[in-house]
């Protein structure tokens, strides 16, 4: 870790995306933390407009289930966006591949997701890239929607427009988005329904919602009950999903209807049986201040789809061309962080190390483990495993192993292995760079199984490690 500005330390990478990295930034005195998204404009000259649009939208939002925006700093060739740090990690990390999670837990996260989406729509904002990789968890295990890089304003001052940008991540994209134009709200609701399937079944139902996909055609024609993931789900769960994943947007459940459905309304106990409890209400939207409306009108409606490729007069964004950033604890510190005169703090080396060790333990993720072997031996075992699995990999000068592969859908899957010493032990930390989170989790579990003999049993549990 290195000093970023006086009194602040630049920590490890939290996530990556097409335009740069997201880093952890820690205050040495208070141990408060934020996520800092770094965009290198010299490498990505088209990113400036995207950043401007993303921050314009994000600063208008304030909801407990949406990552909080603190501010930004601009330099000659760099843009820094400061966001709430979600110390609970990514939601996809809690989904067991091909299994999912308990129904009561899926219900909890789905309720929070719907609350966030309802709030966004009340503000006239469409997210357009909802997926587990863009859903984070705070220290209290509450869901936080992140990554507004593809978000847009579709309703302002009572006027609503249709959208025509083909964007998102294919398995989560509504069928009408592939054809265009489309309405914003049903498209986000569709993506939420796919997320619910992933939570309950641990897999995605299809590669894309189009006639070219046999799995989707079977679903659309009602010939799906004997195949996975549907045969894993009980009739109660399916009764809600069948109302959300409806091909025609006009017939698809609205959020108000989702919230009235018994699966959403009645709480589940840990044994999977419903128990009575009040329905979870969405949050009422705040009104825009007049000058905020004017800013959004100029930024979003004059530049409705950024960045894009012109195709037949339409601005389009290639599906999966832009991998989502993973932002990952509340720190109400925008005035401190964005101040040009941050106070210099006199801290001893010992105190600083203690502080940083605390933060290294904060991020809770399952895709990491301690090992009993030394660093060199650990690297050799991992490389041997990667060779046997015919992975393409490379090691950089910092010792980070980058693995490139293809997932089940023949889409790129890239993840990294960081090996470093922490509290006198060797930590092996896997992190997704690009691709499907569930597929990444499958690969991690397979690699972990092959190096099982070197894992330190007393600390391999992710809740202890993290």
Q: Catalytic positions, please?
A: 129
Cβ distance 349 to 94 under 8 Å? no
Burial readout 29-57 (b: 16 or more C-beta within 10 A, e: otherwise) = eeebbbbbbebebeebeebbebbbbbbbb
- Residue position matching structure tokens 């964007």: 167
Q: What angle do CA 174, 318, 189 make, to 5 degrees?
A: 20
Cα separation, 99 vs 201, in Å, equals 5
Helix (H, G, I), strand (E, B) or coil at 360: helix
**Which tokens go with 328?**
């990952």
> Which residues is 429 bridged to in the sheet?
368, 418
User: Alpha helix locations (H) across 327-436?
Assistant: 334-337, 349-360, 375-388
SS3 of 53-87: the string is HHHHHHCCCCCCCECCEEEEEECCCEEEEEEECCC
CA atoms within 13 A on the CB side of 164: 12
Secondary structure string (H, E, C) spanning 182-237 = ECHHHHHHHHHHHHHHHHHHCCCCCCCCCCCCHHHHHHHCCCCCCCCCHHHCCHHH
348: Cβ contacts below 8 Å, ≥ 6 apart: none
Is residue 418 within 8 A of residue 429, CB to CB? The reply is yes
């Amino acid at each position: 870790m290195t000093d970023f500005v006086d009194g602040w330390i630049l920590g490890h990478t939290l996530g990556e995306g097409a335009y740069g990295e997201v880093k952890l930034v820690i205050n040495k005195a208070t141990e408060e933390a934020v996520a800092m998204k770094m965009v290198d404009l010299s490498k990505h000259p088209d990113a400036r407009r995207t950043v401007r649009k993303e921050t314009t939208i994000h600063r208008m939002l304030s909801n407990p289930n949406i990552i909080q925006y603190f501010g930004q700093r601009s330099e000659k060739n760099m843009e820094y966006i400061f966001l709430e740090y979600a110390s609970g990690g990514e939601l996809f990390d809690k989904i067991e591949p091909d299994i999912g999670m308990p129904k009561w837990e899926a219900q909890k996260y789905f309720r929070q997701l719907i609350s966030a989406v309802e709030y966004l729509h009340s503000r006239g904002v469409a997210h357009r890239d909802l997926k587990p990789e863009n859903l984070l968890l705070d220290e209290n295990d509450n869901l936080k929607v992140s990554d507004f890089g593809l978000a847009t304003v579709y309703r302002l001052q009572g006027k609503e427009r249709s959208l025509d940008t083909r964007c998102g991540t294919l398995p989560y994209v509504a069928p009408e988005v592939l054809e265009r134009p489309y309405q914003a709200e049903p498209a986000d609701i569709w993506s939420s329904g796919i997320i619910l399937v992933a939570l309950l079944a641990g897999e995605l139902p299809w590669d894309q919602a189009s006639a070219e996909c046999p799995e989707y055609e079977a679903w659309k024609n009602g010939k799906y009950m004997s195949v996975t993931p549907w045969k894993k789900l009980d009739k109660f769960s399916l009764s809600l999903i069948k109302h959300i994943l409806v091909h025609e947007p006009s017939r698809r459940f609205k959020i108000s209807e989702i919230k009235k459905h018994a699966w959403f309304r009645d709480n589940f106990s840990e044994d999977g049986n419903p128990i009575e409890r009040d329905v979870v209400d969405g949050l009422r939207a705040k009104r825009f201040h007049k000058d905020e409306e004017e800013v959004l009108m100029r930024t979003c409606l004059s530049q409705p789809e950024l960045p894009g490729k012109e195709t037949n007069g339409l601005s389009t964004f290639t599906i999966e061309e832009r991998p989502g950033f993973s932002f990952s604890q509340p720190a109400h510190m925008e005035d401190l962080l964005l101040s040009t005169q941050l106070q210099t703090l006199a801290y001893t080396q010992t105190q600083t190390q203690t502080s940083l060790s605390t933060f290294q333990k904060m991020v809770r993720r399952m895709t990491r483990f301690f090992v009993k072997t030394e660093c060199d031996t650990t690297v050799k075992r991992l490389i041997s495993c990667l060779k046997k699995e015919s992975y393409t990999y490379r090691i950089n000068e910092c010792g980070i192993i980058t693995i490139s592969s293809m997932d089940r859908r023949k889409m790129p899957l890239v993840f990294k292995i960081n090996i470093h010493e922490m509290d006198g032990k060797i930590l092996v930390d896997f992190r997704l760079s690009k691709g499907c989170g569930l597929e990444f989790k499958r690969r991690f579990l397979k690699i972990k199984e092959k190096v099982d003999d070197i894992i330190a049993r007393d600390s391999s549990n992710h809740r202890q490690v993290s």
